[in-house]
Structure 1
Amino acid sequence: MNATTIESSTPSGYERQPRKSKPSISLFLSIWIILIAAGVLGTIWYTGKMKEQLATQISKQTAQQIAILQTNYETQIKQLETNFTSEIGKVQGKVDALNELLEFSKDNASSKTDNSNKLYSQISEVKKQLDELKKSLDVLK
């Protein structure tokens, strides 16, 4: 048998270079998974920051609104208090006038007239109203 040698058909100046391997699919998938995970983590972080900012803004707005409502409430209470005080003063003046009238009518009343009893009942009604006004003023304080 003849041994024949096979010569390479490539020119002598060129040597065969090894084939460059393509990046594997697993490397490609792992990079995509890392990118997706980074996106999800970034989204979670960003939403947390936004929630924190919103909560801070809402608490500030709520505190401002509560302060405004409190000042309005206090001014209304002061107005009501001054109104009730003036009303109580007026009623007290009426009660005093009725007491004087009652004393006068008791002094001048005869046994046949019943006007003093009517005046006394009117004075007692006015006193009841005065007591109710005082109670409502105490409630407002």
Structure 2
Amino acid sequence: MPPPLNHPSLELQLLAQTFFVKQFPVDAGVPAAVASGLNAAHETPGIFSITRTREEISIVGEAVGDDGEWKCIKIAGPMEFGLTGVICNFTTPLRDANVPVFAVSTWNTDYVLVPKEKADAAVAALTEDGWKFRENSESSTSA
């Protein structure tokens, strides 16, 4: 299924850095090391997300060096808040290519993490589906 609109805000960027995705029991609270990283975020800006539900705490962040096991594809954004179907259209070719995803949404855009060993397959599947990657995207991944 093609992207919903041919618009620069829907161009993709494969980010160069690697990421971690961690899950903690909700009764464990946010680990002190993670909380201190959040407080230091103004010194090292980057992607860092904590989501707490009644069942769990999920934390996503940039890994140190190449220690992360995930790569991130950013939808350029900012997208109009009322725009619908973007994640569905984006993840359908990834599903068809057997690429698992972990999505993080912000007000402006979406970040979709894929296992780093599947990043090349994700880029190929999205490109074949008609999605456009920005020039400054990583041209090749190092799994």
Task: Give the TM bin, normalised by the shorter chain.
Answer: under 0.3
Q: Give the structure with the larger helix fraction.
A: 1
| Structure label with greater radius of gyration | 1
TM-score, length-normalised on structure 2? 0.20
TM-score, length-normalised on structure 1? 0.20
The higher-RCO structure (CA 8 Å, 6+ apart) is: 2
